[in-house]
Structure 1
Amino acid sequence: MTKLALGAHPFLLGFDQLERLVERTAKSGNDSYPPFNIEQASDHAFRITLAVAGFAEEDLSITVEDRQLIVRGRQSDDQSDRIFLHRGIASRQFQKAFVLADGVDVAGAKTENGLLHIDLKRSVPDTIVQTIEINKS
């Protein structure tokens, strides 16, 4: 049986980037740290919440690169004078990526009680009806 590429289907003209998007999403991995929630706030708004206890605002960065929302966390290691008898709280760096659909933009971000909230909004495009004239030859 021959594998049919998604972008090669005759009814999906111009969707070849969708296949690359699926591959990129699959490569982002299943790393579960830090844990996160995705909520639908309204018909056109979403919120991603990451548990970032122990990270200060300056330890976190949020960027959008090529329709991919990337959240990075890196704690400064200024604890050289501390001696731990037990260390059970994770203090590792992380990178979490979310692929954004066209028309979805970051509306804002804030930290609250050890949680990082990233608000997303989807702009609703205007419906445009276009009539194509048929030229006579």
Structure 2
Amino acid sequence: MMKTIDLTPLYRNSIGFDRFANLLDNAFRAESAAAGYPPYNIESLEDNKYAITLAVAGFKQEELNINVERGVLTIRGEKEKVEGKNYLHQGIANRTFERKFNLADYIEVTGADLENGLLKINLLKVIPETMKPKSISINSSSASTIEHKEEIVA
């Protein structure tokens, strides 16, 4: 069952969030399609540093691919086929997967580490100087009005 959300009221008070509805819609679809494999954590390390950790037990570094394109981080795992194994029970999921994460503006992937079956992807939020908060001074219009009146009197 597909859920839809009407975000029209939000558009009246916001500017530049045109793709917000698409992000939400894609998130709902991705969660149902991914079925939770591989499991992952998202953590905030510091003010502008984050990490995504995926449990990729059994995958080698060569079998994993990390790609960022148009604000979407994609992690793919392609397991090499092993011939000649006769499992009585196979509980370890060694299947091909693809996990996608929508990155906010100014989030950059700074690196990735694979250790003990955990793939950790490091993220950093780099806000450009032009986007940082700044104080705007208010000019007084009364001074310019007084100067203008003095010119007329003379």
Q: Which residue of 2 aligns with 1:134?
A: none
Deviation of 1:129 (Å)? 5.8
Q: Which residue of 1 aligns with 2:36?
A: 32
Deviation of 1:4 (Å)? 5.4
Query: What CA deviation, in whole Å up to 9, does each residue of 1:81-111 have, x standing for no partner?
Result: 2222222211111111111000001010010
With the length of structure 2 as denominator, give the TM-score of the two structures: 0.74
Q: Which residue of 2 aligns with 1:103?
A: 106
Structure number with larger C-alpha Rg: 2
Q: Which residue of 2 aligns with 1:57?
A: 61
Q: 5+ residue gaps in structure 1?
A: 132-137
The letter of the residue matching 1:48 is I
What SS is found at the alignment partner of 1:53?
coil
Compare the two structures and name the one with the higher helix fraction.
2
Identity score, percent: 39
Compare the two structures and name the one with the higher strand fraction.
1
Q: Which of 88, 93, 96 pairs up with 2:96? A: 93
Q: 5+ residue gaps in structure 2?
A: 1-5, 138-154
Is the deviation greater in 11-20 or in 52-61?
A: 11-20
Q: CA RMSD in A?
A: 1.9
Between the two proteins, the alignment pairs up a number of residues equal to 127
| Stretches of 4+ aligned residues off by more than 6 angstroms | none
With the length of structure 1 as denominator, give the TM-score of the two structures: 0.83
What SS is found at the alignment partner of 1:16?
coil
In 1, Cα distance between the equivalents of 2:9 and 2:97? 32
The letter of the residue matching 1:53 is A
